[in-house]
Amino acid sequence: MKSVLFVCLGNICRSPLAEGYAKHLAFANVMDLKIDSAGTGAWHVGEPPCANSVRVAAKYGIDIADLRAREVKREDFTSFDLIVALDESNYQDLKRLGATNLVKLGDYGYGGKDVPDPYFFDGFDGFDEVYKMIESCVNTLFSVKSYTKDSG
Ligand code: 4NP
Protein backbone atom coordinates (compact mmCIF):
# COMPACT_ATOMS: atom_id res chain seq x y z
CA MET A 1 0.00 0.00 0.00
CA LYS A 2 1.27 3.49 -0.84
CA SER A 3 1.51 6.04 1.97
CA VAL A 4 1.61 9.82 2.16
CA LEU A 5 2.37 12.09 5.13
CA PHE A 6 1.45 15.81 5.04
CA VAL A 7 3.60 18.00 7.28
CA CYS A 8 3.20 21.63 8.42
CA LEU A 9 4.47 23.47 11.51
CA GLY A 10 1.83 22.89 14.18
CA ASN A 11 -0.29 20.08 12.66
CA ILE A 12 -3.43 21.94 13.73
CA CYS A 13 -4.30 24.17 10.71
CA ARG A 14 -2.94 23.19 7.28
CA SER A 15 -1.78 19.56 7.34
CA PRO A 16 -4.97 18.26 9.04
CA LEU A 17 -6.91 19.90 6.18
CA ALA A 18 -4.61 18.20 3.67
CA GLU A 19 -5.02 14.86 5.49
CA GLY A 20 -8.80 15.26 5.63
CA TYR A 21 -9.13 16.23 1.99
CA ALA A 22 -6.71 13.52 0.79
CA LYS A 23 -8.60 10.84 2.75
CA HIS A 24 -11.87 12.12 1.30
CA LEU A 25 -10.40 11.94 -2.22
CA ALA A 26 -8.91 8.50 -1.62
CA PHE A 27 -12.22 7.21 -0.29
CA ALA A 28 -14.16 8.68 -3.21
CA ASN A 29 -11.75 7.06 -5.66
CA VAL A 30 -11.48 3.73 -3.82
CA MET A 31 -7.73 4.10 -3.50
CA ASP A 32 -5.73 1.88 -1.19
CA LEU A 33 -3.63 4.63 0.32
CA LYS A 34 -2.40 5.30 3.87
CA ILE A 35 -2.67 9.02 4.67
CA ASP A 36 -1.55 10.87 7.80
CA SER A 37 -0.29 14.29 8.91
CA ALA A 38 2.22 15.66 11.43
CA GLY A 39 3.94 18.89 12.51
CA THR A 40 7.61 19.82 12.72
CA GLY A 41 6.83 21.52 16.05
CA ALA A 42 5.52 19.89 19.24
CA TRP A 43 3.52 22.80 20.72
CA HIS A 44 0.11 21.33 19.91
CA VAL A 45 0.70 17.59 20.23
CA GLY A 46 -2.54 15.81 21.18
CA GLU A 47 -4.76 18.75 20.24
CA PRO A 48 -7.58 18.69 17.67
CA PRO A 49 -7.33 20.87 14.54
CA CYS A 50 -7.97 24.60 15.08
CA ALA A 51 -11.62 25.69 15.02
CA ASN A 52 -11.42 27.43 11.64
CA SER A 53 -9.87 24.38 9.97
CA VAL A 54 -12.61 22.14 11.41
CA ARG A 55 -15.17 24.68 10.21
CA VAL A 56 -13.85 25.07 6.67
CA ALA A 57 -13.50 21.29 6.25
CA ALA A 58 -17.11 20.84 7.43
CA LYS A 59 -18.20 23.45 4.89
CA TYR A 60 -16.90 21.09 2.18
CA GLY A 61 -18.40 17.98 3.81
CA ILE A 62 -15.24 16.72 5.50
CA ASP A 63 -15.03 15.91 9.21
CA ILE A 64 -11.54 16.44 10.67
CA ALA A 65 -12.62 17.07 14.29
CA ASP A 66 -11.29 13.71 15.51
CA LEU A 67 -7.74 14.21 14.21
CA ARG A 68 -5.04 14.84 16.83
CA ALA A 69 -1.74 16.64 16.32
CA ARG A 70 1.54 14.76 16.49
CA GLU A 71 5.17 15.64 15.89
CA VAL A 72 6.95 14.24 12.84
CA LYS A 73 9.55 11.58 13.68
CA ARG A 74 12.51 10.08 11.83
CA GLU A 75 10.75 6.73 11.33
CA ASP A 76 8.17 8.60 9.23
CA PHE A 77 10.84 9.13 6.55
CA THR A 78 11.15 5.39 6.02
CA SER A 79 7.61 4.27 6.83
CA PHE A 80 5.93 6.72 4.40
CA ASP A 81 6.55 6.58 0.65
CA LEU A 82 6.10 10.31 0.29
CA ILE A 83 6.45 13.28 2.67
CA VAL A 84 4.59 16.42 1.55
CA ALA A 85 5.64 19.77 3.09
CA LEU A 86 3.01 22.52 3.18
CA ASP A 87 5.53 25.37 2.80
CA GLU A 88 9.19 26.08 2.07
CA SER A 89 10.17 26.39 5.71
CA ASN A 90 8.53 23.01 6.51
CA TYR A 91 10.40 21.60 3.48
CA GLN A 92 13.77 22.89 4.71
CA ASP A 93 13.14 21.66 8.27
CA LEU A 94 12.21 18.20 6.98
CA LYS A 95 15.27 18.09 4.74
CA ARG A 96 17.46 18.99 7.72
CA LEU A 97 15.83 16.19 9.74
CA GLY A 98 16.79 13.73 7.01
CA ALA A 99 13.72 13.34 4.78
CA THR A 100 14.63 12.47 1.18
CA ASN A 101 11.29 11.29 -0.20
CA LEU A 102 10.14 14.89 0.08
CA VAL A 103 8.04 17.25 -2.07
CA LYS A 104 6.35 20.60 -1.48
CA LEU A 105 2.58 20.76 -1.99
CA GLY A 106 2.80 24.10 -3.81
CA ASP A 107 4.85 22.41 -6.56
CA TYR A 108 1.56 20.82 -7.66
CA GLY A 109 -0.39 24.00 -8.33
CA TYR A 110 -0.85 27.65 -7.53
CA GLY A 111 2.40 28.56 -9.28
CA GLY A 112 4.64 26.92 -6.70
CA LYS A 113 3.30 29.16 -3.94
CA ASP A 114 3.52 28.08 -0.31
CA VAL A 115 0.30 27.19 1.45
CA PRO A 116 0.28 30.18 3.84
CA ASP A 117 0.13 29.61 7.57
CA PRO A 118 -3.38 30.71 8.62
CA TYR A 119 -2.71 30.33 12.35
CA PHE A 120 -2.39 34.06 12.91
CA PHE A 121 -5.11 35.05 10.42
CA ASP A 122 -7.86 37.23 11.83
CA GLY A 123 -10.90 35.69 10.26
CA PHE A 124 -12.30 32.70 8.48
CA ASP A 125 -11.77 33.87 4.88
CA GLY A 126 -8.08 32.97 4.79
CA PHE A 127 -8.94 29.41 5.73
CA ASP A 128 -11.25 29.12 2.74
CA GLU A 129 -8.39 30.18 0.46
CA VAL A 130 -6.03 27.74 2.18
CA TYR A 131 -8.59 24.94 1.75
CA LYS A 132 -8.93 25.70 -1.97
CA MET A 133 -5.16 25.68 -2.47
CA ILE A 134 -4.87 22.36 -0.65
CA GLU A 135 -7.76 20.84 -2.61
CA SER A 136 -6.31 21.87 -5.97
CA CYS A 137 -2.73 20.82 -5.18
CA VAL A 138 -3.73 17.46 -3.65
CA ASN A 139 -5.86 16.71 -6.73
CA THR A 140 -2.85 17.36 -8.97
CA LEU A 141 -0.39 15.54 -6.70
CA PHE A 142 -2.55 12.40 -6.61
CA SER A 143 -3.03 12.53 -10.35
CA VAL A 144 0.71 13.00 -11.07
CA LYS A 145 1.56 10.16 -8.68
CA SER A 146 -1.15 7.97 -10.27
CA TYR A 147 -2.94 7.55 -6.95
CA THR A 148 -6.33 8.25 -8.54
CA LYS A 149 -7.98 5.37 -10.32
CA ASP A 150 -8.56 7.36 -13.52
CA SER A 151 -5.07 8.90 -13.67
CA GLY A 152 -3.64 6.07 -15.76
P1 4NP B 1 -0.09 24.98 11.05
O2 4NP B 1 -0.29 26.36 11.81
O3 4NP B 1 1.39 24.79 10.85
O4 4NP B 1 -0.82 25.16 9.76
O5 4NP B 1 -0.70 23.90 11.94
C6 4NP B 1 0.36 26.66 13.01
C7 4NP B 1 -0.19 26.31 14.21
C8 4NP B 1 0.45 26.64 15.39
C9 4NP B 1 1.64 27.34 15.34
C10 4NP B 1 2.19 27.69 14.14
C11 4NP B 1 1.56 27.33 12.96
N12 4NP B 1 2.27 27.73 16.56
O13 4NP B 1 3.31 28.40 16.49
O14 4NP B 1 1.80 27.39 17.64
Question: Which residue of the set 13, 14, 76, 137 is catalytic?
Answer: 14
* 42 within ligand 1 shell (Cβ under 6 A): no
- For ligand 1, the distance from its centroid to the CA atom of residue 152, given in whole angstroms, is 36
* 85 within ligand 1 shell (Cβ under 6 A): no
Q: Which domain holds residue 46?
A: 3-142
Q: Residue 147 domain-assigned?
A: no
Structural domain count of the chain:
1
Q: Residue 151 domain-assigned?
A: no
- Quickly count: other Cβ atoms within 10 Å of residue 26's Cβ: 20
Taking the whole predicted model, whether its pTM rises above 0.75 is answered as yes
- CATH number, position 57: 3.40.50.2300
Task: State which amino acid sits at residue 20.
Answer: G
Give the sheet arrangement for strand 2-8, strand by strand. Answer: 33-39, 2-8, 82-85, 102-104
Residue 56 CA neighbour count, 13 Å, CB half: 26
Instruction: Please state, in angstroms and rounded to a whole number, the distance separating the CA atoms of residues 8 and 39.
Output: 5
Instruction: Please state, in angstroms and rounded to a whole number, the distance separating the CA atoms of residues 51 and 126.
Output: 13
Q: Residue 9 domain-assigned?
A: yes
Distance of CA 88 to the CA centre of its chain: 14
- For ligand 1, the distance from its centroid to the CA atom of residue 100, given in whole angstroms, is 23
pLDDT tens across the length of the chain (152 residues): 899 999 999 999 999 999 999 999 999 988 889 999 999 999 999 999 999 999 999 999 999 999 999 999 999 999 999 999 999 999 999 999 999 999 999 999 988 889 999 887 768 889 999 999 999 999 999 999 989 776 54
